[in-house]
Amino acid sequence: MNENILGIIAGVFTSISMMPQLIKVIREKDVSNISLGMLLILITGLALWVVYGVLKTEWPIILTNALAVTLNTILLIFYFKFK
Amino acid sequence: MNENILGIIAGVFTSISMMPQLIKVIREKDVSNISLGMLLILITGLALWVVYGVLKTEWPIILTNALAVTLNTILLIFYFKFK
């Protein structure tokens, strides 16, 4: 299998994994079991993966981590809204 | 900066991001705001990143995603324990 296709599939999974969590938070308006530390460290790490992808010109890494940064930042906004 | 060092730093952040969440769950014994779908999709995606890393022989990707798979699997076990 082409590695880039595998990378894109892997990245889509890790990126969209926060979608069910985001939907659950928006529906239940409750974030008391969610860790703020987790969100902050995760967003920092995902942003560094984007830089890594840019330096190595690896598009699967750039695109999917940029999407993950976006989704987790939205989750962070809802965290402060519902906390 | 050496790309591999950046990759390791990025990977350590995204891997350990689940640590505060795991500690919170173990302490509070409550997972009602955590999405099972998120955990299952995330673990699948992280495992695929390990395969991607193996195919491209990129150690930062292999090591940090293997750690993340481990941490999230422990979180999944606690999810079923406390649900």
Tell me: the pLDDT tens digits for B1-45?
A: 688 888 889 989 988 988 998 999 999 999 998 999 999 999 999
Q: Do B38 and A30 touch (CB under 8 A)?
A: no
B22 domain residue, yes or no: no
Least Cα separation, residue B18 to chain A (angstroms): 6
B41 domain residue, yes or no: yes
Least Cα separation, residue A32 to chain B (angstroms): 7
Which chain A residues are closer than 8 Å to B15 by Cβ? Answer: 45
pLDDT band (50, 70, 90) for residue A7: confident
Asked whether residue A48 carries a pLDDT value surpassing 90, the answer given is yes
Given a contact cutoff of 8 angstroms between Cβ atoms, the answer to whether B9 and A51 are in contact is: no
Least Cα separation, residue A29 to chain B (angstroms): 9
First-residue to last-residue Cα distance in chain A: 44
Whose CA is closest to B42, among A62, A45, A12?
Answer: A12
Q: Do B49 and A18 touch (CB under 8 A)?
A: no
B17 domain residue, yes or no: no
Count of other CB atoms within 10 angstroms of residue A5: 11
**Count of domains forming chain A:** 1
B18 domain residue, yes or no: no
CATH number at residue A60: 1.20.1280.290
Q: The domain containing residue B73 runs over which residues?
A: 1-10+34-83
Which chain B residues are closer than 8 Å to A25 by Cβ? Answer: 33
* pLDDT of amino acid B1: 62
Q: Do B45 and A15 touch (CB under 8 A)?
A: yes
B65 domain residue, yes or no: yes
